[in-house]
Chains A and B, each alone.
Chain A
Amino acid sequence: MSDLDDLKAMMDDATPKPDAARRAENLALAQKNFQDLQGSREQPRPTSATEAKGLWTGVTTMLKTFTGKAALTTTTALVAAGFLVMTPQGQDLLRPPTSPEITRTEFDGTAKSSQIESEPLFADEIGSDMLVQEAPSDFVGEVIQAPQPTPNPETLPRVTSPANEPVAPPAPPRPTIAQQPTPSTTSPASDLEMAETTAPDAAAALGLSLEDQQRFRSQSSGTQRILLDSMSNQSPRDASRLSNGNAIHPGAMFSGGGAPQADIVAAPTPNTEAFANDDTNPLKITSEDPVSTFSIDVDTAAYSVVRSSLSRGQLPPAGAVRIEELINYFPYDYPAPDAGDAPFRPTVSTFQTPWNADTQLVHIALQGEMPALDDRPPLNLVFLIDTSGSMNDPAKLPLLKQSFRLMLDQLRPEDEVAIVEYAGSAGQVLAPTAASERTTILNAIQSLGAGGSTNGQGGLQQAYAVAEGMKEDGQVNRIILATDGDFNVGISNPDALKDFIADKRDTGTYLSVLGFGRGNLDDATMQALAQNGNGTAAYIDTLSEAQKVLVDQLTGALFPIAGDVKVQVEFNPAQIAEYRLIGYETRALNREDFNNDKVDAGELGAGHSVTAIYEITPVGSPAQLSDPLRYAPNTVAASSDELGYVKLRYKEPGEDISQLIETPIIGESIPGTEANFAAAIAGFGQLLRDDSYLGDWGYDEAITLANANRGEDPFGYRTEAVQLMRLAQSLSR
């Protein structure tokens, strides 16, 4: 009796079994009370005038209904600029260490301060291969002059040049400014896409009349930076402007009584890159929005751009990071489809999220079949090569020539090659020639030289015409466009190009886009072309990348096995409270687009694999970010154990009718090497882009996870990825 164990044993013996009848009765009572309670909970109070809103829903609604995201951005930028201008610390930040100096940039023909006459001062400094070109006429209308005592640039002639050489102007401009009674604010809008759309809205929001805005906007070459000068009404002002990227504080300091001088910040390296990306996919609440639809993306351009940035010692701009392209850069060893089945095989697995113990990742992997190479159909290739002045850079045209030589060795005698170049105008360099005539083709490639503007549309038109002429039954037609993306003649707006390309893709010709060079890479245009032209976009930054894209993975790049591959996932609200698609921002489709065979989507190449990753929060997980609704209808399908249901649609190449593959998402499993590596890259992409969902998980963890799951890695791609992560880690410190 002295021991508690004895006591416990005695107690256990003494404890009777519950009476079965009472047990059933009590359970029934509990259930009845439960149901009663639910009933009363379900009824909203009749007097309640406002909707119940969780914090999450409230914020989402606010953001959705807020008239201008743009206005928010601008006001924030104004406050930031106000800090720079109004505080001594801010002024220190703005003031260059040496006396003000203008760095010559791509637009320097135009970028003169108000007191410098607008003659092309630097004509003698502009190399012979550079072309001074009048801006399109629509541009002139976009320069809105403010009433001011000093002249403004009338036109903005454009210098297309390898935009990398800073040249000091003969005299640093020192615009004098009448002393202002009120402060001026400059808003350097740093994101060009955003800023472009923002400016009018923002101005309206600020209540400024047109005269009060001084807006400089370059034309569509991709250099689209805006200097929004929102001063108080009636203030005459002066704005000195340097081109793209770094807005200049136009002056108007208010210290003492002397005439203040403009502080000018020189743009260190002019950069006219434009990247296609959207805001990070938001967290979705399953009960409100259970269906997620997107198109596959087999492009790899974003990874190469990230690598190119990191190798130059810079973190890539967040807009350049398309996470799905980072993930899909790598070959994965997913189970291949069996012969006779669909051309690709989906594998869906669920496992714990590396960066959050309370959520899971749904890993959707598509592995395309690798058809027998021996009986591949003959290829008709049209090389459409950008030979504009901007391509005159060791990393562009010369690399392009080398890359095509590599590729030529992969072609067969029965394949045909034609070459179209385009600069100011488009021209056929090489008529369709059998690949066996290697010397002829090589000579034609070698003869290409850069110079002139970029009439991308003209080139595309001619290339499609040539491709049409080469077309024969049973052959694969493909245009390979090599460019830095900088289209400045003809259609140059990505949206208009989309329409143009969409018309052309119905001819059955595929389009691949190879991006070259940095500095004025117009990733947005490239994406628009590849996504709408049944093609892929890759970015060639090194010869090894050319080797990967044009040699190692050429088959996949050239032979589509499935077209318009769409993915639709429906999550079960009984199991999943919230979900979030990682990446694929630029590939989102509407829910109804899934079954609409008219809507275009990505192509899957032979042997390609595609990975999509969702982060899901199970019902009741402490990681749930939104509160459940108190008055939500109680229609949960509690009977199903499935986490969700994946539906895939694809078309056989050349077909118009899509086919459907379906598979449920079932419970948790142990992730394999491939899934783990994909997760590590997904984490890496988020670290580069927006790590708000990662918590404390950082580069160390990403590196460890990637390193442990490099697998066989015959080409060393994964090893390189780990190196890049290390580089990014050092650069981000």
Chain B
Amino acid sequence: MRMMTSDEDLATAAAHGDGAAFASLLERHYDRLFAFCFRLTGARAEAEDLTQDICAALPAKLASYQRRAKVTTWLYRVAVNAAHDRRRKRATYTKATDGWGDWENNRTAAMKDTNEQIDWLTAAMNQLNTDLRDTLALVLDDMTHAQAADILGVSEGTISWRISEAKKALRAIKEKEDVA
């Protein structure tokens, strides 16, 4: 029965305090959520941390779940917002630890990145601005432009524009690298 129950039913049950429903809902979506976090952040460690943030905050967020939304849509919105929060926190932190701390951070991050041999794509995505990256992450995760627009709270046209901008930017990066 649980496996047959729709995400929406589970989420509603969870919002009403059904612990088992919440567990199976999260179980179902964890991998997808993590993959999405990775696309948003472009780094494994970051993705793990972001996923953790989301997991920690999700129970409280459940109250905001409206049944008319699909669970995936709602979950992506939560993830995008969590990523924003994290970046903002990171920005503050970076400012506070200006100097060698920042350098140290970058260095360890770079080392990890090298270790995990991420390809240029994630690196390139990291060079995109956050709006473009969020949008691209969503669209690459099989979201339609309409769904992405819904999640990010912008118009569908904006999404289309951002995708073409992202493509343009990626092409530019690629060309630059090819030249180099």
Contacts and interface: CB of A to CB of B under 8 A. Distances in A.
Contacts of A17: 31
Interface string B30-69: 1100110011000010011001100111111010000110
A7 B136 CA distance: 10
Interface string A31-62: 10111111001100000000000000000000
Interface in B57-111: 57-60, 62, 67-68
A25 B52 contact: yes
A383 B14 CA distance: 63
A171 interface: no
B9 A37 contact: no
Contacts of B47: 16, 18
Interface in A320-373: none
Interface string B116-154: 101101100000000000001001100000000000000
A10 B119 contact: yes
Interface string A567-584: 000000010000000000
A293 B135 CA distance: 56
A27 interface: yes
A345 B138 CA distance: 55
A29 B30 CA distance: 13
A30 B58 contact: yes
B8 interface: yes
B12 A1 contact: no
Contacts of B14: 34
Contact of A636 (B18, B38, B62, B68): B18
Interface string A611-624: 00000001110100
Interface in A644-667: 667
A209 interface: no
A331 B14 CA distance: 44
A628 interface: yes
A2 interface: yes
Contacts of B35: 15, 18
A25 B48 CA distance: 11
A34 B22 contact: yes
Contacts of A30: 22, 26, 55-56, 58-59
B39 A15 contact: yes
B26 A27 contact: yes
A73 B171 CA distance: 76
Counting chain A CB atoms within 10 Å of each CB, the highest count among B22, B31, B119 belongs to: B22
Contact of B58 (A10, A33, A622): A33
A622 B140 contact: no
Counting chain A CB atoms within 10 Å of each CB, the highest count among B17, B51, B67 belongs to: B17
Contacts of B44: 16, 19
A35 B21 CA distance: 12
B180 interface: no
A529 B34 CA distance: 70
A29 B48 CA distance: 13
B51 A26 contact: yes
Interface in A588-643: 618-620, 622, 628, 634, 636, 638-639, 641
A574 B16 CA distance: 10
A620 B12 contact: yes
A620 B4 CA distance: 15
Contacts of A8: 140
B39 A638 contact: no
A38 B14 CA distance: 10
Contacts of A1: 170-171, 174
B52 A26 contact: yes
Nearest to B35: A15
A729 B143 CA distance: 47
A670 interface: no
A23 B30 contact: yes
A33 B12 contact: no
A18 B56 contact: no
A26 B18 contact: no
A37 B59 contact: yes
B26 to A, nearest CB: 6
B172 to A, nearest CB: 11
A27 B1 CA distance: 22
Counting chain B CB atoms within 10 Å of each CB, the highest count among A10, A13, A34, A37 belongs to: A34
B51 A620 contact: no
Counting chain A CB atoms within 10 Å of each CB, the highest count among B8, B116, B119, B140 belongs to: B140
A31 B52 contact: no
Contacts of B21: 638
Interface in A384-431: none
A4 B18 contact: no
A37 B58 CA distance: 11
Contacts of B116: 16
A230 B169 CA distance: 85
A22 interface: yes
B48 A22 contact: yes
B174 A14 contact: no
Nearest to A35: B19
Given A10-B119, A19-B48, A622-B68, A33 B56 contact: yes
Contacts of A34: 14, 19, 22-23, 58-59, 62
A22 B52 contact: yes
B1 A641 contact: yes
A208 B59 CA distance: 59
A11 B17 contact: no
Contact of B55 (A19, A27, A619): A27
B9 A4 contact: no
A143 B14 CA distance: 63
Nearest to B136: A7
Given A16-B116, A619-B13, A33 B68 contact: no
B176 to A, nearest CB: 13
B19 A620 contact: no
Contacts of B121: 7, 10-11, 14
B98 to A, nearest CB: 30
Contact of B27 (A27, A29, A618): A27
Contacts of B170: 1, 7
A38 B60 CA distance: 10
Given A26-B30, A619-B9, A14 B16 contact: no
Interface of B: 1, 4, 8-9, 12-14, 16-23, 26-27, 30-31, 34-35, 38-39, 44, 47-48, 51-52, 55-60, 62, 67-68, 116, 118-119, 121-122, 136, 139-140, 163, 167, 170-171, 174
The 7 closest A-B pairs by CB, nearest first: A620-B12, A641-B1, A30-B55, A34-B59, A18-B34, A26-B55, A33-B59
27 contacts: A4-B139, A4-B163, A7-B121, A7-B136, A7-B170, A11-B121, A15-B35, A15-B38, A16-B38, A16-B44, A16-B47, A18-B47, A25-B52, A26-B51, A27-B30, A30-B22, A30-B58, A30-B59, A33-B59, A33-B60, A34-B14, A38-B17, A38-B19, A618-B9, A620-B67, A638-B18, A667-B4
